[in-house]
Amino acid sequence: MRHETLLELATRDGIRLPDQLVSEWPPALSAADEKGWFRFQRLYDVARSVLRTEADIRRLVMEVAEDDVRDGGRWLEIQVDPSGYAAKFGGITAFTDLVLDAVRDAERSTGLGIAVIIASNRTRHPMDARTLARLAAQYVDHGVVGFGLSNDERRGRTEEFDHAFQIAEKAGLRLMPHGGELRGPEHIRTVLRSLHATRLGHGVRAAEDPALLDEIVRAGVALEVCPTSNVSLGVYSDLTSV
């Protein structure tokens, strides 16, 4: 999300932003600090709280696409957890329809190829993930290309999300869970084997285990390694999580 957009939308609705999102922008966060994740999540939730109207969602998607093109991007994948916006936008299906319509508008305007990944939240019950997997399956060939699992990987049991990923796999979606950011190689192995990941969000701690790296290469699993982190709805490339 552009900083000026964040500030403008917050001012419009009288939302008080913490200094880290105003005068101390961009916020300084450390992955080496155990509290770093919680600071990031708090700021992330505050930032996304400014998205209150359909026009806000459309603006965000368009600006992300424009910025990606400016930076030389040719393909953008937006990861979104519809359940985080369902209450404001008429449910998970209505919100997904809105995002996909905004994506089509942005594609026409910018010429950038854009796709959507539906992401479940590991801090919620695995049954919620199954619901989102079925939702994602309905949009195969209509803009949704993958199914993910995000949020603090120290929460929940990864194995309990296997049924949701089976639903997504049967629908032909790419399987893109997060893993290997806050937990090490053994958890990456769990993610790969339990969820059949075809792409791994982060995965940076695989570098601690050469045998695991060899396994990842042999399996053809791609790793999403981002040089920077942007506050937004949720994105890969320029956007980190709608």
List residues with catalytic annotation: 181
Which residue matches tokens 């937006």? 78
Query: Is 59 in a helix, a strand, or coil?
Result: helix
Q: Write out the two tokens for 149.
A: 């699992």
Alpha-carbon distances of 178 from 63, 163, 190, 193, 214, rounded to whole Å:
25, 16, 11, 13, 19
Contact status, residue 231 vs residue 225, Cβ threshold 8 Å: no
Query: Is 172 in a helix, a strand, or coil?
Result: coil
Pairwise CA distance, residues 174 & 171, whole Å: 9
